């Protein structure tokens, strides 16, 4: 099966090698349902992300935005179209340990300390553990003193920060964030957005963020793509005009509010009467 995937990728790249950091090229994906039916999750989605760009994928729940992220993460296979990361198939990148991912569920291993969790990507990649890198990451996410703690001793927000630090450990080519703060309360979530903004400004890694929060998308991303549901399609693309580094105060400007209103409206195709 693996050989098959590689063959497919090389066949495709014969046509032309994509120069985008992430290229979701006219992709459709359907899932088989019980009873022989199938559900079209996303339909002809076309997303190009440039190197070093932060793109937020915004949509209602069940619109297929997580499916797109899972296709980029090589966790699902496309039915038609193709996905490439710097011209290569996602499965090649995952196998060479070049993908960073953080989910809504922090997915830290409860039996390991924070440090050992950050060492996991090194072990999985068969590399020697870079202690300096782990210390650097802990400081980056503001948890320098918590290396010996267990995940169960941390707050929800701290766990998500460790999870993002783990995603960054091997300096991946792309960072994939699937609603990383979706399970946090509003206040913690706001804090985490400010933290992620700071962390990202220091790394400038190509990032795809899946979220259903308009404010989160606007505050963090360079570009926001709005999706409609069933089947999932990209219906709007909005360039975020705010520069970097982006101060939290940006969220209180009238321009931010106007954009937020516009995106919220785009999310609701039939506004309530």
Partner 1 sequence: MSNAQEAWRTLGLGALGIALFLLAWELIGLNRLAGLSWPAFSTVIDYALQPPRYPMFGRAMGATFTTVAVGYVSGAVLGIVLAGAVHVVTWFRPGVDRLASVIHSIPPIALAPLLIVLINRDSTGIVIAALNVFFILYVATGSGLNASSKTHRDLFQVLGARPSTRLMRLDFPAALPAMVGGLKYAVPAAFIGAILGEWFGSSRGLGLLMVSAMQNFQIPLLWSAVLIASTSSLLLFGLMSLLEQSVRRRNR
Residues at the contact surface with partner 1, assessed by CB under 8 A: 73-75, 94-97, 99, 101, 103, 105, 107, 109-111, 120-121, 123-125, 152, 176
Least gap, CB of 212 to partner 1 (angstroms): 18
CB 235 within 8 A of CB 228: yes
Name the residue nearer to partner 1 (CB basis): 105 or 130: 105
> What does DSSP assign to residue 127?
P
Closest CB to partner 1 among 179 and 195? Answer: 179
End-to-end CA distance of the chain: 52
What the block records as the tokens of 214 is 């308009």
Helix, coil or strand: residue 211 = strand
Instruction: Tell me whether residue 24 or residue 214 sits nearer to partner 1 (CB atom).
Output: 24
Sorted by sequence, the CB contacts under 8 Å of residue 155 that are 6+ apart come out as: 188
**What are the helix (H) ranges across the chain?**
2-15, 65-72, 90-95, 114-124, 131-140, 156-168, 186-203, 214-220, 254-267
CB of 272 to partner 1, least distance (A): 35
Helix %, strand %, coil % of the chain (to 5): 40, 25, 35
Is the Cβ of residue 39 or residue 109 nearer to partner 1 in the bound state? 109
Q: Which is nearer to partner 1, 161 or 246 (CB)?
A: 161
Strands across the sheet containing 22-32 = 38-49, 22-32, 80-85
CB 186 within 8 A of CB 132: no
For the CB of residue 124, give the shortest distance to partner 1 in the complex, in Å.
5
Task: Kindly state the smallest distance separating residue 27's Cβ from partner 1, in Å.
Answer: 18
Minimum CB distance to partner 1 smaller for 182 or for 250: 182
Quote the least distance from Cβ 267 to partner 1, whole Å.
26
Q: What gap in Å lies between CA 176 and CA 203, rounded to an integer?
A: 14
CB of 86 to partner 1, least distance (A): 16
Nearer to partner 1, 121 or 232 (CB): 121
Please state the closest distance from residue 107 (CB atom) to partner 1, in A.
4
Largest CA distance in the chain: 61
């Amino acid at each position: 099966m693996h050989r098959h995937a590689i063959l497919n990728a090389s066949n495709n790249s014969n046509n032309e090698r994509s120069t985008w950091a992430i290229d979701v090229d006219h992709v459709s994906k359907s899932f088989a349902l019980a009873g022989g039916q199938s559900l079209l999750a996303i339909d002809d989605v076309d997303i190009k992300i440039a190197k070093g760009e932060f793109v937020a994928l915004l949509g209602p729940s069940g619109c297929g935005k997580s499916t797109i992220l899972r296709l980029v993460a090589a966790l699902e296979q496309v039915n038609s179209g193709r996905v490439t990361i710097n011209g290569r198939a996602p499965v090649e990148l995952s196998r060479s340990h070049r993908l960073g991912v953080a989910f809504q569920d922090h997915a830290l291993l409860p039996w390991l300390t924070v440090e050992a969790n950050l060492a996991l990507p090194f072990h999985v990649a068969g590399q020697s553990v870079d202690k300096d890198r782990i210390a650097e990451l802990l400081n980056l996410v503001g948890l320098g003193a918590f290396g010996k703690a267990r995940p169960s001793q941390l707050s929800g927000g701290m766990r998500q920060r460790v999870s993002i630090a783990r995603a960054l450990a091997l300096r991946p080519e792309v960072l994939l964030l699937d609603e990383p703060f979706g399970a946090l309360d509003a206040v913690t979530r706001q804090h985490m957005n400010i933290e992620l903004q700071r962390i990202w400004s220091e790394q400038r890694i190509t990032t795809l963020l899946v979220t259903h929060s308009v404010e989160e998308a606007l505050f963090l991303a360079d570009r926001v793509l709005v999706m409609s549901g069933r089947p999932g399609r990209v219906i709007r693309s909005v360039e975020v005009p705010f520069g970097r580094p982006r101060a939290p105060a940006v969220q209180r400007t009238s321009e931010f509010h106007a954009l937020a209103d516009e995106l919220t409206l785009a999310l609701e195709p039939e506004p309530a009467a």
